[in-house]
Amino acid sequence: MTVTTRTNLLTNTSFELDAAEWTSKTNCTSAVSTTQVYVGTQSLAVIATASGAVAITTTSGTGGVPVTASTAYNFSAYIRTSATPRAVTPVIVWYTSAGAVISSSLGTPVTDGFSWLRANVQATSPSNAAFCAVQLAYASEAASEVHYIDAALLEKTTILGPFFDGSFTSGGGVAYAWTGTANASTSTMATYVPTVTVVGKTDAPCPRVEVTIQDLGTGTTIYNIWRTADSVRKIVRSSRNRSTVGSDALIDYEAPLGRTLTYDIEVVSGLTYLSPTNPGTATVTSATWWIQDPLVPSSAIPLAVSSQDTAIPCLTAAAVKGLEYAADVTIIPILGSSEPVALMGTRQVAGGVDFSMFTRAAEATTTLRNLIQQTPLLLVRTNGVRNDGVPALAYFVSAKPVEHPVTVAFGGTLTNWQLQGDLVAAPSLNVLVPIWTYGTVAALWATYQQAQTTLAGKRYLDVLKSPSGV
């Protein structure tokens, strides 16, 4: 987890309600004031009742702040004077579970002035401490002299962190909250760093990356997940403007094979907008290529690059031997010059690509035929073998694939498939057809006859995409 939480153990830390929790220890009275303010709209004015030393304290004894024995604590407060600067010493007083004083921890004195200064003391609680009170002790003052206190903080830490309480506005990955009534309870500051955890999988239906997103914070988050492979950053399908609360999970069924993949999160809106994030990395290996409908993960078929495996489709020897990179170029002769001018468009991805293959098993033939009939746009995922020029994700359009049953007429099973076409951009649809399992399909129907009635008139591919008939 990458959530860190700080707790301000004091209540009414910026005196927005009243002067409660702070009382006179020595020679003073206190009241809220709007004359000088560090945070909020009010501060605490400490008024000397007579000449001499002054001290103000939070509730003492068993009414103090509960603490853990032998633990580091840090107390701080912002101070300033109305007229005469004085040395101010921050103090933590420790008490037993019965309310008896154990000892006091004193910080370095700070002389308050005409701008806000911070005084603090860091100390470790005694081994028998159960409660504490915090105090500010002033050097000798004149009668009616006024000093101000604001933004008091007591937390369990060795580090003096920035002041906070539950009135702060949440954002940038930080959530502020009161644990009870506003300005009358302790408060928390939770910092969220969204983390992407990725795991490569190679079991059915195809190689993929499972992505888990955590620590998005409170409230609704809208985000995108990006995948970087071979220095190219692409958004993961079904992750565009995705909405969730706290955490989420999705699957990248188009993960490139045999490459280091980095997944990072882009928070579009929510608590962690503009906050830092922790990306995740994974590598998915495969001994074969894969061919699939990019919108239907369950359609994925392993594709061999040699003829050793006869149970799956295999590329022909002539496949992917040449890649053509076209550009729209117009040559314009210039009068009086032997050098014409070329008007050029952007060089395109490979065209004239040959993905011809053959199948030797009847089941492989049927599966490939169903896939080709299902969509004119196919995704071929390569693993770096055969031709490095073929992209890791080759989105391929073949206008007229041809099926040649080579030996079927003679009782054989060899079928040749001519698949020539061009590489194109990935489809932009932000959807995926869900993967149906035997269990989820069986749960739809009480009897086989119910399924027959509902699915009457549906094609095989229709049922494959939606066994519910929707």
SS (H, E, C) 100-149: CEEEEEECCCEECCCCCEEEEEEEECCCCCCEEEEEEEEEEECCCCEEEE
* Domain final residue, candidates 258, 283, 308: 283
Question: Which among 220, 200, 204, 222 is positioned nearest to 212, based on CA atoms?
Answer: 200
Percentages of the chain per state (helix, strand, coil), in multiples of 5: 10, 45, 50
Contact 70, 124 (CB under 8 A): yes
Is 363 in the same domain as 417? Answer: yes
Is 444 in the same domain as 306? Answer: no
Q: Cα–Cα distance between 187 and 8 in angstroms, integer?
A: 5
Whether residue 400 is contained in a domain is answered as yes
Question: Which pLDDT tens digit goes with each residue over 167-208?
Answer: 999 999 999 999 999 999 999 999 999 999 999 999 999 999
Whether residue 446 is contained in a domain is answered as yes
Whether residue 430 is contained in a domain is answered as no
What range defines the domain where residue 140 resides?
3-170+177-187
Contact 168, 151 (CB under 8 A): no
What mean pLDDT is reported for the chain? 92
Mean predicted confidence (pLDDT) in 233-250: 95
Q: What pTM, to 2 d.p., does this model score?
A: 0.81
19: its two tokens: 């002067």
Residue 128, CA atoms < 13 Å, CB-side half-sphere: 9
* Domain final residue, candidates 156, 187, 218: 187
Contact 254, 425 (CB under 8 A): no
359: its two tokens: 């199948």
Is 114 in the same domain as 149? Answer: yes
Whether residue 445 is contained in a domain is answered as yes
Question: Which among 68, 69, 70, 64 is positioned nearest to 93, based on CA atoms?
Answer: 64
Which one is predicted more confidently, 123 or 448?
Answer: 123
Is 203 in the same domain as 352? Answer: no
Mean predicted confidence (pLDDT) in 345-360: 93
Is 157 in the same domain as 22? Answer: yes
Contact 250, 242 (CB under 8 A): yes
Q: Which residue has the tokens 């002299």?
A: 145
Can you count the helices (H) and strands (E) in the chain? 4, 35
**HEC letters along 114-125:** CCCEEEEEEEEC
Residue 135, CA atoms < 13 Å, CB-side half-sphere: 23
Q: Confidence band (pLDDT; 50, 70, 90) for 435?
A: low
Q: What is the CATH number of the domain that holds 259?
A: 2.60.40.10
The pLDDT of residue 1 is above 60? no
Whether residue 431 is contained in a domain is answered as no
Is 148 in the same domain as 13? Answer: yes
* The predicted structure's pLDDT at residue 2: 77
Is 199 in the same domain as 181? Answer: no
The pLDDT of residue 388 is above 60? yes
Contact 224, 239 (CB under 8 A): yes
Question: Which pLDDT tens digit goes with each residue over 44-83?
Answer: 999 999 999 999 999 999 999 999 999 999 999 999 999 9
Q: What is the CATH number of the domain that holds 134?
A: 2.60.120.260
Mean predicted confidence (pLDDT) in 205-220: 95
Q: Cα–Cα distance between 156 and 6 in angstroms, integer?
A: 8
Residue 79: what residue type?
A: I
Question: Which among 220, 173, 171, 175 is positioned nearest to 195, based on CA atoms?
Answer: 173
The pLDDT of residue 468 is above 90? no
Whether residue 351 is contained in a domain is answered as yes
Question: Which pLDDT tens digit goes with each residue over 117-155?
Answer: 999 999 999 999 999 999 999 999 999 999 999 999 999
Q: Cα–Cα distance between 351 and 429 in angstroms, integer?
A: 23
Q: What is the DSSP string of 277-333?
A: -B-EEEE---SSEEEEETTEEEEEEEEBSSTT-TTS-EE-TTTTS--B----EEEE-
The pLDDT of residue 265 is above 60? yes
Is 369 in the same domain as 441? Answer: no
Whether residue 428 is contained in a domain is answered as no
Q: Count Cβ atoms below 10 Å from residue 286 Cβ, excluding itself.
A: 19
Whether residue 429 is contained in a domain is answered as no
Is 60 in the same domain as 131? Answer: yes
Q: Where are the alpha helices (DSSP H) in 311-427?
A: 362-374
Share of the chain above pLDDT 90, in %: 84
The pLDDT of residue 310 is above 80? yes
Is 372 in the same domain as 254? Answer: no
Is 368 in the same domain as 300? Answer: yes
Question: Which pLDDT tens digit goes with each residue over 271-282?
Answer: 999 999 999 999
* The predicted structure's pLDDT at residue 128: 98
* Domain final residue, candidates 251, 283, 315: 283
Is 60 in the same domain as 158? Answer: yes
158: its two tokens: 């060795």
Domain tally, the chain: 4
Q: Which residue has the tokens 């760093």?
A: 193
Question: Which among 15, 131, 14, 150 is positioned nearest to 73, based on CA atoms?
Answer: 131
